[in-house]
């Protein structure tokens, strides 16, 4: 995907900015933002938009960074993307596990047939609101005119390139080589994930552990050659591994063969990598320094569902 200039003022109007909004919950603020956009735009169903955005949030909260949420949906009927923004002095609970209430919420509605629009707007907003002081300034804005000036200040247009850094998870679950098997099992099960990068104290990527690696530790090759495993009806090999879970280290079963890419790799190339290599996760690194991951499920969601 080629680069493209994004001008936030093309998609956000002052009458779609709600300062110090009177809403304490995620659904309340989303409802107010959808209402504001529906009042200024035509061509989409208010009820349909509200349902789509809230359903997306229930599936995966869109708290992008501390204090910032970017709820979104792709809709039939829209001819171009549209933004609405709400700020709160006290914070809004976005029901994201482990996250504090957010002070700035930007609703993104994009045409259903334009997957690149959402990605470009998220990349542009992320760049604009990356610094904590920007969120503090916005949440303290006295009115919509002041807030609009803050979010549109600086260069009128921002060049956005859709690359790996645009779609990666920069804060995934990671493990250290010295972590125990018990720690790894808890990380896999509590987060419902299947691949975990191993990152050292210097921030370098050392390897990866997959859920299959745990199974492989329990069922060594000599057992896999058996045609019928039914005599192992009590999962004895697994029990043996679990008895040693506090002693076994992640370093004993991680692997150092993984697919790694640079952050500036064009995002479209990721689709080819996932298809050709038939993998679930790609590591994003700068030299050996770990930057994040791109998972097949989240990447596909951003393209097809946003």
Report the distance separating Cα 172 and Cα 230, nearest Å.
Answer: 38
Residue ranges and CATH numbers for the domains of the chain are 4-161 (3.40.930.10), 181-304 (3.10.580.10)
Predicted pLDDT of residue 2: 45
Report the distance separating Cα 254 and Cα 197, nearest Å.
Answer: 9
Predicted pLDDT of residue 238: 73
Distances (CA, A) of 66 to 17, 92, 269: 20, 12, 30
Predicted pLDDT of residue 241: 77
Predicted pLDDT of residue 1: 36
Report the distance separating Cα 111 and Cα 118, nearest Å.
Answer: 9
Cβ–Cβ under 8 Å, residues 107 and 85 = yes
Contacts of 142 (CB under 8 A, 6+ apart): 19
CB atoms near residue 83 (< 10 Å): 24
Predicted pLDDT of residue 104: 94
Distances (CA, A) of 117 to 15, 107, 275, 293: 22, 13, 23, 22
Contacts of 215 (CB under 8 A, 6+ apart): none
First to last CA, the chain: 17
The backbone torsions φ and ψ at residue 19, rounded to the nearest 5 degrees and listed phi first, read: -90, 140
Q: How many CA atoms lie within 13 A of 289 on its CB side?
A: 6
The number of residues in the chain equals 306
Distances (CA, A) of 261 to 161, 202, 291: 16, 19, 10
Predicted pLDDT of residue 59: 84
Cβ–Cβ under 8 Å, residues 109 and 37 = yes
Q: How many CA atoms lie within 13 A of 276 on its CB side?
A: 7
Compute mean pLDDT per 10 residues along the chain, 306 residues long, and list them. Answer: 73 95 90 94 88 89 84 88 93 76 93 86 85 89 95 78 88 94 92 94 96 78 67 68 86 92 94 96 96 94 78
């Amino acid at each position: 995907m080629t680069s493209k200039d994004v001008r936030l003022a093309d998609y956000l109007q002052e009458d779609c900015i709600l300062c110090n909004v009177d809403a304490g919950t995620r659904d309340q603020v989303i409802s107010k933002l959808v209402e504001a956009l529906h009042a200024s735009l035509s061509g989409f169903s208010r009820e349909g938009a509200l349902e789509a955005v809230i359903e997306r949030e229930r599936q995966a909260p869109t708290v992008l960074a501390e204090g910032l949420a970017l709820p979104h949906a792709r809709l039939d009927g829209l001819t171009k993307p549209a933004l609405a923004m709400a700020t709160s002095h006290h914070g809004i609970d976005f029901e994201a596990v482990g996250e504090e209430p957010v002070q700035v919420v930007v609703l993104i509605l994009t045409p259903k047939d334009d997957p690149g629009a959402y990605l470009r707007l998220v990349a542009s907003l992320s760049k604009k609101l990356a610094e904590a002081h920007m969120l503090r300034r916005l949440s303290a804005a006295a009115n919509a005119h002041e807030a609009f000036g803050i979010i549109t200040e600086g260069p009128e247009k921002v060049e956005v390139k859709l690359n790996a850094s645009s779609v990666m998870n920069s804060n995934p679950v990671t493990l250290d080589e010295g972590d125990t098997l018990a720690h790894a099992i808890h990380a896999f099960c509590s987060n419902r994930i299947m691949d975990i990068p191993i990152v050292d104290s210097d921030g370098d990527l050392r390897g990866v552990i997959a859920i299959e690696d745990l199974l492989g530790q329990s069922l060594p090759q000599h057992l896999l050659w058996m045609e019928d495993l039914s005599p192992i009806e009590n999962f004895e090999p697994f029990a043996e591994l679990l008895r040693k879970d506090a002693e076994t280290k992640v370093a004993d079963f991680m692997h150092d063969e993984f697919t790694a890419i640079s952050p500036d790799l064009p995002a479209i190339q990721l689709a080819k990598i996932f298809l050709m290599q038939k993998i679930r996760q790609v590591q994003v690194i700068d030299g050996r320094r770990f930057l994040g991951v791109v998972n097949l499920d989240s990447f596909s969601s951003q393209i097809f569902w946003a």
